[in-house]
Chains A and B, each alone.
Chain A
Amino acid sequence: MNILAVQAFDVPHIAYGKLSPLLIVFGVAVVGVLVEAFAPRERRYLVQSLLAVGGLILALVAVIVVAGDMASNNDGASLGTIEAMGAIAVDGPSLFIWGTLLIFSTMSMLLFAERSLEGGITAFAGQASALPGTEAEREAATKGVEHTEVFPLAMFAIGGMMLFPAANDLLTMFVALEVLSLPLYLLCGLARRRRLISQEAAMKYFLLGAFSSAFFLYGVALVYGYAGSFELAEIDTAVSASVGSSGLLLTGMALLAVGLLFKVSAAPFHAWTPDVYQGAPTAVTAFMAACTKVAAFGALLRVFYVALGGARWDWQPLMWIVAALTMAIGSIIAITQTDIKRMLAYSSVAHAGFLITGFIGAQQGLSVAGQEISSLQAVLFYLVAYGFTTIGAFALVTVVRDAGGETTQLSRWAGLGKEAPVVAGVFALFLLALAGIPLTSGFTGKWAVFTSAWSGGAWPLVVVAVLMSAVAAFFYVRVIVVMFFSDPVGDGPTVAVPSILTTVAITIGAAMTLLLGVVPQPVFELARHAGEFIR
């Protein structure tokens, strides 16, 4: 991978300890494939789900150990080292993101493993290869066939997500992008019910995702042409050394941005988001909404702060436009949505806009004095806050059902407040958090990114952001109105009783939404201790 290696072959030195979280996740994924091949069918569900959750928790423990180790060797400046022959940066932000991803993934795996809602089987297609509406599909359904491959697939995706923001060179980053994307495309198409729309979602996601990957790769090539290296630090050196801007760099930067902005679902590359969020099995949607966003923002920040920080004046105007557009499109189009999942998808677009607003501030290093909040800290906190809320919200969508499975039509949620006050109340909490009402995590997160942007001089963007928050408040409140102040239509929705798995996921989401709204300081401290990216 390293060019030097061509001249004299060095034995690669791998710090297994520091990379253990990654290795555990990938290892479990591989074991999962073996289990699929050799374990008897009736045992697979139990083995796979235990393996996935256990592996993620083990990896989380490994992250904590590595972080503790790193903190004890604190020399004051940036923490961390570059490992695997310059391919992976194990630094504070990487570890923070890994920890976040692992917690969100564990919650998502709980949703994946839920079996009570569909009458004893998972929400994934019994036999994905059987065409919808055919005899084969019915046969698979009556036999109660399950696709337990979803667990190893998700583990591969998680591994890719962890590698993505930690990659220290653009090629590793591209490989990670593919590793995280391919299993996700597949997972999107595996819904047990409404299979056509699910497969359509997978197809759209795949086509557009492949496009954006190609853009990213082209960008990598152009930046390589400019800087002569894939390594972020070397690119930074080249960017800082040059005077004036080069067409090669600008084009490369723009193409890299396209690839990354696609993944965070920023406008104008957001078009896949509503379709995919709606069509994918809701557990997968929750997983994607939280984890992909975390991973992609981690990578976005690393590329633009570390490698392209010197060209900040070139990319900031572009990002201003993207941020304003993303917030506006997400908030305004969400108003017209009549489907809860689509509405949450547009809300996720709007939130990507808020996150980019924080990212633009680019307050880091020396410009941040004392206790003042840095942009990285703000964005990391927002990701944590948003992830818990959004997983909780999607998990809640899975329990509101009618005869045809999940009922995501907004009009069918009328009167839920009377039917199931607790469920409606918790969903209202999530909505208020997404709207950014104080005493919820959404508010503290918003405050943090707005501050970051304003400190960086982007106050007009902050004004746009608060105006768009006001617009967004309208559609969140509308759902509350429907749930609490409207009378049920027909039979009204029923709330299925989920197993302990979904209940735990929802409870964690709700508890963290409240906690991060009232006592956010520990997470801010954690993000502050994570320090800045190393080069």
Chain B
Amino acid sequence: MTGSETTIPWLTILALLPLLGAGAVLVTPSRTALPKLVALGVSLVVLVVSVVVALLFEVDGGFQFVERYTWIRTFGANYAVGLDGLGLVLVLLTTILTPVVILASWNDADTGRWSVNTFFAWMLVLEGLSIWVFCATDVFLFYVLFEATLIPIYFLIGGFGGARRSYAAVKFLLYSLAGGLLMLASVVGLYVVSADSASGPSYLLEDLMAADIGTSTGRWLFLGFFIAFAVKAPMWPVHTWLPDAASEATPGTSVLLVSVLDKIGTFAMMRFCLNIFPEASRWATPVVMTLAVISVIYGALLAIGQQDIRRLIAYTSISHFGFIVLGIFAMTSQSQAGAALYMFNHGLSTAALFLVTGFLISRRGSKLIDDYGGVEKVAPVLAGTFLLAGLSSLSLPGLSPFVSEFLVLAGTFTVSITAAVVATLGIVLAAVYILYMYQRTMTGPLRESTKNLPDLRPREIAALAPLLLLIVVLGFFPKPALDAVNPTVDRLLQEVGVSDPQPTVASDEEGASE
């Protein structure tokens, strides 16, 4: 894991910038536009830095921009950060979405319980912590940051949003804490395992990958990690916090929650579950794939039945997270590359969908589908962006989610035809829930209440444009993103000890990997 020789601690800078920016936002005078401008400025600077990091990043260079210092020697904990292709993609997702969300949420906090400053400060705190999580290469550091991200999002949900936000925030927090504490038990167990090894206690990812973890111990510890990540992702049956949280929070918070924060779950499955517990991951594959397929179908079916637009989108995300987890645990290079790419693309398309419906809801003041109708006649730009975002969510070819979903299914097909076929039904259902929603809200006769609905304002268009642009560009030309994640995926599969099944000897390969 030798990285490029850098003297500049890029990743620490990248993570600290938003946190310092949050401090700056807090001290600017409220009741002016200043806190918003400062927040937007900071997030744009972070975006620029992250792009610089991406340009310096060498594809196929393993972990780069590595920094490592002993942190708590007694625990074997290190401050160790490094960036691989997967991490880079998710860091970029975070830094792209944050300015978009800040711009889109410009007026959302004006009526909140607390000052505008706190809203934007929490957003920047969340950005900084998320970047840090994606860079952590020490399990202890990762755990600390993983839990720390709960605090800003908790206050974002509970402080700003709908009427039942406080209930939603507590539900979210308790689910996450319960998952996190199970993970804590596993983290403690890892210490004991690594303390028994010759090199003494260490939480470094590379040391843990080299450590000899017994079969049954490894499986138990894997479970602790996996459940925490499944709650985060979220997978059926531990998903019930998401619809509440996504529906009660402001649209911007929902974007950060679903597009960035939930990715930590799937990201960590790849980074930690598979790397540290290769045997246990192979052992768990049948169950995890079953749960993932259930998530795909269940999320899609419930999405069709929703009356509340925001809950509908939340359920679509549960369905999409099912695809991501399916791709990870199918353990083929195609499916995992697809899953990694899907994390990025799902982030973009869901963000676009949440934001555009957020604009719609803010105009009419209702989240119910039945309160709308014929909007495309009065607000064509809004309807058009809504359609584009929706089509990307249902994986229309030519838009970026299609590439990733296709890769996941193609990869899955080589290991389990049943799972692939059932999951493909999810795409059909996706068409139903998106188009059905579009039909009921945007087409048909105009309602009394929607007659004077104003179209998107320039600020709102400016927020949505980068997302839609990226969706289209990556739909036609996904190579840069795939190039970034492919080396990571190859190394990961090597670590897990699985190679892509050859079509002719598929059954033999499977037997060998047991």
Interface residues of chain A, those whose CB is within 8 Å of chain B, are 369-373, 377, 418, 432, 435-439, 443-444, 446-448, 450-451, 454-455, 459, 462-463, 466-467, 469-470, 473-474, 477-478, 481, 484-486, 519-521, 524-525, 528
Of the 9-residue stretches B179-187, B291-299, B321-329, B377-385, which lies at the interface with chain A? B179-187
Residue contact B72 to A470, C-beta cutoff 8 Å:
no
- The docked-state distance in angstroms from the alpha carbon of A436 to that of B192 is 20
- Whether B302 sits at the interface, judged by CB under 8 Å, is no
Chain A hits for B170, CB < 8 A: 477-478, 481
Residues B181 and A447 in contact, CB atoms below 8 Å apart:
no
Residue from A462, A478, A519 with most neighbouring chain B CB atoms (10 Å): A462
| Residue interface mask B401-421, A partner, CB < 8 A = 1 | 000000000000000000000
Residues of B in contact (CB 8 Å), total 37
Query: A373, B75: Cβ atoms under 8 Å?
Result: yes
Q: For A415, give the chain B residue with the smallest CB separation.
A: B113
CA distance A524 to B71 in the complex (A): 12
| Nearest CB of A to B238, in Å | 13
Contact yes or no, A481 B158, CB < 8 A: yes
Contact of B188 among A432, A447, A519, A521 (CB under 8 A): A447
Closest residue of chain B to A456 (Cβ to Cβ) is B192
* Cβ B148 vs Cβ A438 within 8 A: yes
Q: What are the residues of chain B within 8 A of A477 when measuring CB–CB?
A: 170, 173-174, 177
B145-168 CB mask vs A (1 if < 8 Å, else 0) is 101101100010011000001100
A469 to B113, CA, bound (A): 30
Select from chain A the residue with minimum beta-carbon distance to B155.
Answer: A484
Which residues from 167 to 210 on chain B have a C-beta closer than 8 Å to any C-beta of chain A?
169-170, 173-174, 177-178, 181-182, 184-185, 187-189, 191-192, 195, 200-201
Q: How far is the CA of A325 from the CA of B76 in the complex (A)?
A: 31
Cα(A504)–Cα(B184), bound, Å: 34
Residues of B within 8 A of A485 (CB): 113, 158-159, 165-166, 169
| Contact residue among B166, B184, B187, B201 (Cβ-Cβ distance under 8 Å from A481) | B166
Partner of B192, one of A444, A446, A451, A528: A451
Q: Output the least CB separation between B68 and chain A (Å).
A: 16
Question: Beyond A372-B201, A373-B75: 4 further Cβ-contacts under 8 Å?
Answer: A437-B150, A450-B184, A470-B181, A485-B159
Q: Are B174 and A474 in contact (CB under 8 A)?
A: yes
Q: Does B144 lie within 8 Å of A439, measured CB to CB?
A: yes
Contact B143 A438 (CB under 8 A): yes
Of the residues A369, A454, A462, A524, contact of B74 by C-beta under 8 Å: A524
In the bound complex, do residue B181 and residue A377 qualify as a contact, i.e. CB atoms below 8 Å apart?
Answer: no
A473 touching B189 in the complex, CB below 8 Å, given contacts A371-B76, A373-B75, A450-B184:
no
Chain A residues within an 8 Å CB radius of B165: 485
With most chain A CB atoms within 10 A of its CB, the pick from B143, B159, B184 is B184
Q: Which 4 A-B pairs rank lowest in CB-CB distance, beginning with the nearest?
A: A438-B144, A524-B74, A485-B166, A466-B181
Chain B residues near A (Cβ < 8 Å): 71-76, 113, 143-145, 147-148, 150-151, 155, 158-159, 165-166, 169-170, 173-174, 177-178, 181-182, 184-185, 187-189, 191-192, 195, 200-201
Contacts of A459 in B (CB 8 A): 185, 189
A437 and B151 form a contact (CB under 8 A)? yes
For B177, the closest partner residue in chain A by CB is A473
- In the complex, what residues of B have CB within 8 A of residue A444's CB? 72, 75
A454-B192, A485-B158, A485-B169 are contacts. A371–B74 as well, Cβ < 8 Å?
Answer: yes
A442–B351 Cα distance when bound, in Å, is 36
Listed A/B pairs (15) with beta-carbon separation below 8 Å: A373-B74, A373-B201, A418-B113, A437-B148, A443-B147, A447-B187, A448-B75, A466-B184, A473-B181, A481-B158, A481-B169, A484-B159, A485-B113, A485-B169, A528-B74
Select B185's contact among A370, A439, A462, A520, beta carbons within 8 Å: A462
- Give Cα distance in the complex from A525 to B144, angstroms: 21
Asked if A466 meets B185 with Cβ closer than 8 Å, knowing A373-B75, A473-B174, A477-B174, the reply is yes
CB distance from B499 to the nearest CB of A (A): 35
- Complex Cα distance, B178 from A372, in Å, reads 27
Pair B201/A371 contact, Cβ less than 8 Å: yes
**CB pair B200 A372 closer than 8 Å:** yes
Chain A residue at smallest Cβ distance from B145: A438
Are B147 and A437 interface neighbours, CB within 8 A?
Answer: yes
Which single residue of chain B is at the shortest CB-CB distance from A464?
B185
Give the one of A432, A454, A474 with max B CB within 10 A: A454
Q: Is the CB of A377 within 8 A of B188?
A: no
Residues of B within 8 A of A373 (CB): 74-75, 201
Residue of A nearest to B173 (CB): A477
**Residue from A377, A470, A519, A524 whose CB has the most chain B CB atoms within 10 Å:** A470
Measured between beta carbons, the chain A residues less than 8 angstroms from B151 are 432, 437
**Interchain CA distance A369-B145 in the complex, whole Å:** 29
Pair A447/B184 contact, Cβ less than 8 Å: yes
Smallest CB separation, A210 vs chain B (Å): 39
Measured CB to CB, the nearest residue on chain B to A455 is: B192
In the complex formed, the residue of B with least CB distance to A370 is B200
Asked whether A521 lies within 8 Å of B159 as measured between CB atoms, the reply is no
Which of B76, B145, B195 gathers the greatest number of chain A CB atoms within 10 Å? B195
CA A230 to CA B137, docked complex, whole Å: 53
A469 x B143 contact (CB < 8 A): no
Residues of A within 8 A of B155 (CB): 484
Residues of chain B with a CB closer than 8 A to A370's CB: 200
What's the nearest-Cβ distance from chain A to residue B220, in Å?
9
Give complex CA distance A439, B76 in Å: 16
Q: Which B residues are CB-close (under 8 A) to A418?
A: 113
Taking CB atoms, residues of chain A closer than 8 Å to B75 are 373, 444, 447-448, 451
Question: Which of B159, B177, B188 sits near A454, CB closer than 8 Å?
Answer: B188
Q: How far is the CB of B245 from chain A (nearest CB, A)?
A: 14
What are the residues of chain B within 8 A of A466 when measuring CB–CB? 181-182, 184-185
Among the listed B143, B188, B201, which residue makes an inter-chain contact with A450, where contact means beta carbons less than 8 Å apart?
B188
Closest to B183 in A: A466
Provide the residues of chain B in CB contact with A478, threshold 8 Å: 170
- Give the residue name and chain of the A residue nearest to B141 (CB): A438
- B192 with A521: CB separation less than 8 A: no
Give every chain B residue within 8 A of A451 (Cβ-Cβ): 75, 188, 191-192
- When the two chains form their complex, are residues A521 and B74 in contact, meaning their CB atoms are under 8 A apart? yes
A104 to B178, alpha carbons, bound, how many Å?
A: 32
Known A371-B74, A439-B144; judge A455-B195 contact (CB<8 A). Answer: yes
- What is the bound-complex CA distance between A524 and B70, given in angstroms? 14
CB distance B189 to A454 under 8 Å?
yes
Cross-chain contact B201 with A520 (CB below 8 angstroms): no
Assembled-state Cα–Cα distance A389/B191 (Å): 26
B182–A371 contact, CB under 8 A?
A: no
Query: Taking the nearest CB of chain A, how far is it from the CB of B397, in angstroms?
Result: 43
